[in-house]
Amino acid sequence: MQLERWHQIKDLFSSALEHPTAERSAFLDRSCGNDIELLAQVRSLLDAHESSLGFIERPAVERAGLADSFEPLNWQGRRLGNYRIVSELGRGGMSHVYKAARDDDQYYKEVAIKLLRPGLDTHSLLQRLRDERQMLAQLSHPNIAQLLDGGVTETGAPYLVMEYVEGQPIDAYCEQRELSITSRLDLVRTLCGAVRYVHQHLMVHGDLKGGNILVTQSGVVKLLDFGIAKLLNASSDPSHTMVNQVVALTPAYASPEQIRGEPITTTSDVYSLGVLLYKLLAGTLPFEVPAELFGWEAAAAMGDRQPRLPSIAAAENNVPAYRRIARQLRGDLDAIVMKALAKEPEDRYGSAEHLAEDLHRYQRGFPVHAHPAHPMYRTRKLVMRHKAATVAISLFAVAIVTGVVTTAWQAHVARSERARAERHLAEIRKLTNTYLRDVYDAAVNLPGATEVRKLLVENSLKHIAALESESQDSLEFKRELAQAYLRFGDVQGDYLGANLGDTEGAVQSYRHALRLRKQVAEQSQTVEDLAALLRSYISLSELLGAQSKLDEAIALAESAIEVGTKLVAMPGVRSSDHRLAGAAHMLLGTNLSTIDLPRALESLHSAQETFERLEREQPNDIGTRFDIALIQSRIGFAYVRSQQYESAFPHYLKASQYIEQIARESPGDAAALRGAAFAAVNLGEVYNNLNKPDLALEPIKLALERVEHLQVVDPANEQASLAVAYVLNHLGDSYLLKGQPEMALTHLNRALQLVNEAPPAKPTDIAEIRMLPGMTNFRLGKAHAMLGQEHRRDATAYLQSSVTRLQELTKDPVIGKDVQRLTDQARQLLRDVS
């Protein structure tokens, strides 16, 4: 409905109210003439006005001039179905909310009951409640108040029964506890997750404000009233659209397009989130809209004005707590809030998820998307994130350059100076080795450290290689060079950690390291040198096994076991050496899982015994605890390879519980977060294979949250986006098993986008990455096939693509059987849709 049309309706409605009731019909006939639609719209408003007395609230309806003042019925003590009204909780723009209790013979439960105003097209509103109630009831999110029931009163007024939430509005919660900026941003990010969930279910909240967002005593965010604005604004009857929007919105939080009565979208909710974020950071609203203004009057009052920056508003706030944090808001937070508050929807964040991502980037010290991407800005953020590493690398580079230049110069001096030059060369090598060992180890598990690790290793490797001619046949030099190659391989393509996606490059680096370690071990049989040799065997075998090169991987794992057996028999052996020996058995069992399950389980259980013994001896050792989780996961994997999902389940469950505890204790440990994510998705996959998709959703969604976090904080990790796509695939599979192809498509389309944006899979990539494009296309085809004949063309295209992509992998020794099953299913679906 155009704004001018609404002016006409409102003016005619106001004039009709000035006439006696008996004369209004004749007045409208004269005024509307042949405009039947205008007549119907004004009469609808008059009908709503006449039926308004005695029901719920005043504010929005009266401000809009659509109803006179009235007093609501006293519902306290009355019953609605099985519920008894206890007390009033609050009033909103179109409703009263009461605390009630279900106290029938079935059970007792406290709930909140929302009563909608009758007379505002009650019949159609009730019908829409019936149509959408089932969908709303299926929504289940820890940060959204659950819809439990609904019905109509004896007078025909509709009501909704909601989860009762005892908490404070989010802005009052933050102020009362004087929460830090970080804590406030954490609450908003949690809220964004709930709003994103609503949007994924094709709904728009439309009335996000402090009063609709409660925080419990334990700090849990609960979004209320979602769906109500959507229900009101979803009417297909144009005569009610403007009325419903006027009544539902809250001007101070509403987007410009919502105030103008235009259709609202998910970006309208983003604007409201921006207002809320502004309020939480600055202590005031970006625009103070006078209570007596509404609709287009409120829009006119706001006009094209831009609000003050949050930092300025906070600095001018009378509350000292906000003045103290004003400087911290300058720059990134100002930019984030102002982007969310952009007048035009296309200038805002595209989704609540994108807003949450930028807030998280700010918290982690990464460049935010709201800020212009100037090189100096990005450099400053990198330095701020890694102050210690930046200083260390700078000093390291200076030391290396100085050392090389000095050494080159000293090579030309007289023989009497050679001894001093050799001492200097030894110092340079010692410095390089220190950076490879101490600085690298300190950074390896920090989220976002991939780029720092890469710089450390590349510089170390380059300068060690440059000095190779000076080393002659030094064992110490070979140890240093092997260490550099091993570290470089980890950065290039260690699929168990953050890496650059260069799997084949990693294999070559591991080969160099192993060659050098063998040379050292031939001359030195110390515990340290044998342990280093064992570590090189394990790294190379692990990666070759992931590439499906099982013959070589198994041979290397068997060699690793021989070295491990010799190592643990030596005097002076350490617990870390026993862990390595156990890892060799675990690795052999993993590589055998696809081709020889009994032998694989024998080796895996041997490793399990070692790890459990070490845990008894050192129960607080984080490395051993991690190994316990890993061995449970590998045993589960062995059973999954043989499709023994019932047997796999308890091991995957133990692995997930164990690593989840470690991740909670070490939230800043990227390796723990990554391990917890994949343990959770493994558990979800088994639930799916057992046809229990409802149980699969929680662990898979947790895994998705973890891998998305790692993707944001470590953009240099090339495998992070594919990890997200992998988890999204299993989430989509859960919804397919639940018979919800529309929800599956939401996640699978995003997975396909990530797959297509990544470099094409290479034959040397790990098996999961090679399988991912075909698997994603298969599930997309299955989803479209489930949607019926009108999606037949899409289903056929995706299924044919999946067959093409998967066919070449059917002979793979690791994933071949799984691929063959998918290919057979794809071909059967193609026959069904053709």
Q: Quick one: pLDDT at residue 235?
A: 44
Out of 67-81, 219-233, 529-543, the most confident range is 529-543
Q: What is the pLDDT of residues 479-529, one digit of tens each?
A: 877 887 787 777 676 656 545 667 787 888 899 889 999 999 999 999 999
Domains and CATH numbers, the chain: 3-50 (no CATH), 79-163 (3.30.200.20), 167-365 (1.10.510.10), 545-633 (no CATH)
Q: Quick one: pLDDT at residue 107?
A: 64
Instruction: Find the Cα–Cα–Cα–Cα dihedral 346, 347, 353, 359, rounded to 10°.
Output: 180
E-state strands within 737-819 = none
Do residues 411 and 424 make contact, with C-beta atoms less than 8 angstroms apart? no
Q: What is the pLDDT of residues 621-659, one digit of tens each?
A: 888 999 999 999 999 999 999 999 999 999 999 999 989
SS3 for 422-486 is: HHHHHHHHHHHHHHHHHHHHHHCCCCCCHHHHHHHHHHHHHHHHHCHHHHCCCHHHHHHHHHHHH
Q: Quick one: pLDDT at residue 52?
A: 35
Q: Quick one: pLDDT at residue 485?
A: 79
- For the ranges 265-279, 300-314, 418-432, 483-497, the lowest mean pLDDT is seen at 418-432
How many helices (H) and strands (E) the chain has is answered by 37, 9
Q: Is 387 labeled as ligand-binding?
A: no
Q: What is the pLDDT of residues 181-217, one digit of tens each?
A: 988 999 999 999 888 888 877 778 888 888 889 998 8
Which 8-state DSSP code applies to residue 264? P
If pLDDT is split at 50, 70 and 90, which confidence band does 373 have? low
Give percent of the chain with pLDDT exceeding 90.
Answer: 37
Query: 401-411 as b/e, with b when 16 or more CB fall inside 10 Å?
Result: eebeeebeebe
Q: Quick one: pLDDT at residue 743?
A: 92
Q: How far apart are CA 26 and CA 13, in angstroms?
A: 14
Q: Quick one: pLDDT at residue 136?
A: 62
**End-to-end Cα distance, the chain:** 44
Instruction: Return all residues near 36 (Cβ < 8 A) that are at least 6 apart.
Output: none
* Residue 523 burial (C-beta neighbours within 10 Å; 0-12, 13-18, 19+): exposed
Residue 237 has pLDDT above 90, yes or no: no
Q: Quick one: pLDDT at residue 499?
A: 53
If pLDDT is split at 50, 70 and 90, which confidence band does 246 have? very low
Which 8-state DSSP code applies to residue 83? E
Higher pLDDT, 309 or 160: 309
Q: What is the pLDDT of residues 21-60, one digit of tens each?
A: 667 777 787 788 778 777 777 776 665 444 333 222 334 4
Closest CA to 762 of 529, 505, 556, 553: 505
Instruction: Return all residues near 295 (Cβ < 8 A) that are at least 6 apart.
Output: 6, 64, 246, 251, 259, 261
Residue 67 has pLDDT above 70, yes or no: no
Q: Quick one: pLDDT at residue 656?
A: 94
Q: What is the pLDDT of residues 790-818, one digit of tens each?
A: 899 999 999 999 999 999 899 998 899 99
If pLDDT is split at 50, 70 and 90, which confidence band does 787 have? very high
Q: How far apart are CA 172 and CA 153, in angstroms?
A: 34
- Report the Cα 146 to chain-centroid distance in Å: 22
Residue 586 has pLDDT above 80, yes or no: yes
Higher pLDDT, 389 or 38: 38
Q: How far apart are CA 384 and CA 57, in angstroms?
A: 52
Q: What is the pLDDT of residues 127-167, one digit of tens each?
A: 555 555 655 666 777 788 887 887 777 766 677 888 888 88
